[in-house]
A and B are shown apart, each in its own frame.
Chain A
Amino acid sequence: MSGGLPRRIIKETQRLQAEPVPGIVAIPDDSNARYFHVDVAGPKESPYEGGVFKLELFLPEEYPMSAPKVRFMTKIYHPNIDKLGRICLDILKDKWSPALQIRTVLLSIQALLSAPNPDDPLANDVAEQWKVNEAQAIEIAKQWTKRYAPSQPMPS
């Protein structure tokens, strides 16, 4: 750790590119190696299937002692993601552990898309809708996916 980028970040970045997680692409920004452009494909059999969601991920100075900052850039209808793209996920807050990695964080976010949790909401109105009429909520989520997250060829 001689002033530059910690070796752990270099290693994680290399591994993300050498052995990418299926359905997830994370590419460091050209001018800032701590800032990642992330594409997450909507998981199969979820209302987000067929969509590609853009996220930003930033590794703060204290990483890995503090959690990466992650936010959805693509609008998404999900009870645990608010309109600013902020994500309600315990491992991004008090359950963060330096033993976790960028890879595990993105996998957890992908899992959250498969299993929305309206009992642990960040977006109250969405959560309410999800509880009152789940079928309709899923329909809205599908529409939003088509409208805001159209599938594009993933950047290589």
Chain B
Amino acid sequence: MKFFVNVRYNTCQPVPLEVDRIATILTLKEKIGTRYQLPVDEIRVIFQGRELSDNATFEQCDLGNHSCVHAVRHSPSVQLRQRPLDIPKSQGLNSIREVITDTPPPGGQYLYYKPPGGWYLHIQPPKGLYRVRFHVYCRSVCHNVQPGKLRVRCSKCKQGTLTVSQGPTEWGDVMVPGRIHGECQSEGCDGTVAEFYFKCAVHPSLEDDSAPVLDLVRTNSLEVPCAACTDTVSLVLVFPCSAGHALCLDCFRTYCITKLNSRAFTQLPDVGYSLECPAGCVNSHIRNPHHFRILGDEQYTRYQRLATEEYVLQNGGVLCPSPGCGAGLLPEGEDNRVVCEKQGGFGCGFEFCRYCHETYHEGDCRTSLLAAISADSGDDYRLDPENALRAQWEKQSKLTIVQTTKACPKCNAPTEKSGGCMHMKCALCCFQWCWICCKEWTRDCQADHWFG
């Protein structure tokens, strides 16, 4: 297989240079010198915040096929601003095996990339060796959880020409901007702050390559069984609780979708719309919402919609009840008349009651709803027969809802009681109420009519 290193000189587009896979950085510098007509001893190669020394091999520098390095030119008289990185000889990259096949990898394999050519680059970490520590959700090519690579660039010129004065030692160094400093080696740039980002390690580099990192997804080097299916698999999501409960990604998906279906995510002010550890541990909510991308595009969009709805409802807003609309509205004042105003491509113009979500009316909600249902539409004969039938259907449907449900005392969601005790918990707004009193659940309700 041909081996390329993409070289970005100054701010030009990266140029792929073909080199021998087992060659050293000096050989690469010679190629760069030929390509850009530069004296070899004035070229410096920077990768991942470090200058690479001449005698290091690509393997030792963790340079894979199509890795992108930065080349800068400095005259030899200029003092090196930083000592080149010494790499222990024993540390090689050959622990990751690349296999090219023309068939898709077996189910459950997460390390694969299908380039337009039609073959699969199938990278397998060998058994017993767990090198991949970072995982990302690749949005651009793979649409899947993939091993990630940590990259560093200058926060000012956004080029990878910054050499760091010290490496990151914990997640905070990477996630919180401005913690790690260095010096940008680009000509004319005086940047001193390192900016970290992650990219998908599976497909060749793209122009804008950053991928959200999934800091809770780990290579299962401890071989912990999934808390739900009890299988031991290669990738797990470890919740941020003190016990570190782990779910495999399949069970994580099922867990999240089950909770989305029952709207059991919680909206927390400092976290957002999130889920806690399945064992119910304290302080175990997922704080990085990118993890919900693991659910797939369709469910992630649904997660975002429910999160927005929850935010609107928690802030005293209402959702337009008109079919197909659902716009989030924040009505001012206490007036029960809400208009879903048409503006900027949103809104449907529907006027409705803030409390019962039916067409706007004056007076008590239940009375007016029953009146609307029982109102005999005297001019039925003018209607299209199908419309008339449909109207009857809607009328019956509404009547059934009125007869079989009670409204949640807080958000008015029609609630049906199919069994169990009198203690109700609204699936929409989580309000806990009493089926008998139609008020907030109290100890008295428990004592007087909890059951029966």
Contact = CB atoms under 8 A, between A and B. Distances in A.
Contact of A97 (B279, B420, B425): B279
A7 B231 contact: yes
Given A1-B250, A65-B228, A98-B228, 7 more contacts: A6-B229, A65-B258, A88-B421, A93-B420, A97-B279, A98-B247, A121-B450
A40 interface: no
Interface in A65-123: 65-66, 82, 88, 93-95, 97-99, 121-123
Contacts of A97: 278-280
A95 B281 CA distance: 11
A29 interface: no
Given A8-B230, A66-B258, A99 B451 contact: no
B279 A99 contact: yes
Contacts of B82: none
Contacts of A43: none
B241 to A, nearest CB: 11
B450 A98 contact: no
B258 A62 contact: yes
A99 B227 contact: yes
Contacts of B135: none
B452 interface: yes
A140 to B, nearest CB: 19
A44 interface: no
B228 A99 contact: yes
A98 B251 CA distance: 10
Contact of B255 (A1, A65, A94, A123): A65
Contacts of A95: 280
Interface string A48-73: 00000000000000101110000000
Contact of A122 (B255, B280, B451): B451
5 contacts: A64-B229, A122-B421, A123-B451, A124-B451, A124-B452
A121 B449 CA distance: 10
Interface of A: 1, 6-8, 11-12, 62, 64-66, 82, 88, 93-95, 97-99, 121-124
A53 to B, nearest CB: 21
B278 A99 contact: yes
B228 A7 contact: no
B245 interface: yes
A124 B450 contact: yes
B94 interface: no
A11 B230 contact: yes
B392 interface: no
Contacts of A82: 451
A108 to B, nearest CB: 14
Contacts of B425: 94
Contacts of B279: 97, 99
Contacts of A8: 228-231
Contacts of A1: 229, 250
Shortest beta-carbon contacts, A-B, top 3? A98-B228, A65-B258, A99-B279
B190 to A, nearest CB: 53
A66 B425 CA distance: 17
Interface string B219-241: 00000000111110000000000
**Chain A CB within 10 A, most for which of B247, B255, B258, B451:** B451
B55 interface: no
A65 B229 contact: no
Interface string B233-271: 000000000000101001100110010000000000000
Contacts of B451: 82, 121-124
Nearest to B256: A65
Contacts of A64: 228-229
A111 B231 CA distance: 29
Contacts of B228: 8, 64-65, 98-99
A145 B361 CA distance: 60
Nearest to B228: A98
Interface in B188-245: 227-231, 245
Contacts of B258: 62, 65-66
**Chain A CB within 10 A, most for which of B228, B420, B425:** B228
**Chain B CB within 10 A, most for which of A66, A98, A124:** A98
Contacts of A7: 229-231
Interface string B32-51: 00000000000000000000
A91 to B, nearest CB: 10
Contacts of B421: 88, 122
Contacts of B420: 93
A98 B227 contact: yes
A8 B231 CA distance: 8
A98 B278 contact: yes
**Chain A CB within 10 A, most for which of B230, B258, B280:** B230
A149 to B, nearest CB: 23
A62 B258 CA distance: 8
B441 to A, nearest CB: 13
